[in-house]
Amino acid sequence: MPAIHFISGLPRSGSTLLAALLRQNPRFEAGMSGPLAGLFGALLGEMSARNEFSVFIDDAKRERILRGLFDSFYGDCPAEVIFDTNRAWCGWMPAVSRLFAQAKVIACVRELPWVVDSIERLVQRNVFTPSSIFGFNPGGTVYTRANGIVGQDGMVGAPYDMLKQACYGAERDRLLVVQYETLTTDPERTMRAIYDFIDEPAYVHDFAHVDYDVTDFDERAGTPGLHAVHGEVRADPRETILPPDLFNRFTRDAFWRDPERIPAGLRVV
């Protein structure tokens, strides 16, 4: 089995960009969020007490079955190092640490107002294509959409809670928080920190020509451009399209930017 690490964190925070950069290294495999975390959760549920046959499954069997899921899923992957991407992995840090003693988790983050802004910008750009993010519902306003995604079960709210759990949890020594702002303004320093974190030899990346495109997936989700990455890694300053009161609602949620709120042992780049 190749070495395995995980990319997690918040949506619209650079995970696809990071995967596009990592996959430039011929030893690495990385991509957009995949189905493995969903399969992982489904197996956990089916092996729980809700299944009357769970009496025949002890923790040792559960570990072998879950580890076998990774072996089977990546069985045809020739890469030496695999990065599996899903926002749910931050919520399963204890399980990840039990299954893979050397695995690390890279959590991509971004100031929440700009996460919400980025999602809203996609919706307004694709005005004639209702998005799966909102159940293909063509109605609503920027306020109803924002309230939906930042709720505890929402596209942003749930990963945010998982991120906080991981950052303040017992396994935070195997977590690296990568800020979108750092990745886009200083990608070389960011990648250097990641290679050091996962204890892999440095690789010279091409930050001027980065490409990753899953057009078919994005169009099927009713959100063209959701995962598209093209061209040079750079920060593009812009004005928000959120109303001021909505934008300001989330300005203090970036706890990773406040030295007094960063727990001991948590690495942030």
CATH at 28:
3.40.50.300
Record the tokens describing residue 166, joined without a space. Answer: 């991981």
| CA 259 – CA 20 distance, rounded (Å) | 30
Q: What is the DSSP letter of 235?
A: -
> How confident is the model at residue 69, as a pLDDT?
95
| CA 258 – CA 269 distance, rounded (Å) | 13
Q: Of the given ranges (6-15, 26-35, 48-57, 241-250), which has the lowest mean pLDDT?
A: 48-57
Residue 30 has pLDDT above 50, yes or no: yes
Q: Tell me the average pLDDT across 74-94.
A: 95
| CA 113 – CA 254 distance, rounded (Å) | 9
Residue 54 has pLDDT above 70, yes or no: yes
Q: Tell me the average pLDDT across 225-243.
A: 76
> How confident is the model at residue 132, as a pLDDT?
75
- Any residues with CB less than 8 A from the CB of 110 and at least 6 apart, and which? 10, 12, 13, 14, 118, 179, 180, 181
Residues 195, 28 contacting (CB under 8 angstroms): no
> How confident is the model at residue 225, as a pLDDT?
47
Summarize pLDDT for 176-233 with one digit per residue, the tens. Answer: 999 999 999 999 999 999 999 999 999 999 998 887 665 554 445 445 444 456 678 8
Percent of the chain clearing pLDDT 70 (strictly above): 93
Q: Tell me the average pLDDT across 37-48.
A: 92
* 45 backbone φψ class: left, alpha, beta (φ>0; ψ -120 to 50): alpha
| CA 40 – CA 89 distance, rounded (Å) | 10
- Strand blocks (E) in the chain: 3-9, 28-29, 81-85, 105-109, 175-179, 210-212, 229-231, 267-268
- CB atoms under 10 Å from CB of 211, counted, come to 12
Q: Of the given ranges (74-88, 136-150, 192-206), which has the lowest mean pLDDT?
A: 136-150
Residue 171 has pLDDT above 60, yes or no: yes
Q: Which of 256, 179, 198 is nearest to 18 (CA)?
A: 179
Domain limits for position 21? 3-268
| CA 174 – CA 163 distance, rounded (Å) | 13
Q: What is the total count of domains within the chain? A: 1
Summarize pLDDT for 104-142 with one digit per residue, the tens. Answer: 999 999 999 999 999 999 888 877 777 777 777 777 899
| CA 95 – CA 69 distance, rounded (Å) | 14
Mean pLDDT of all residues belonging to the chain: 89
User: Which residues share a beta bridge with 9?
Assistant: 108
Residues 8, 105 contacting (CB under 8 angstroms): yes
Q: Go through the chain and tell me how many residues it has.
A: 269
Q: What is the CA angle 147-151-152, rounded to 5? A: 180
- Strand blocks (E) in 97-214: 105-109, 175-179, 210-212
| CA 157 – CA 119 distance, rounded (Å) | 13
Q: Of the given ranges (58-72, 88-102, 182-196, 229-243), which has the lowest mean pLDDT?
A: 229-243
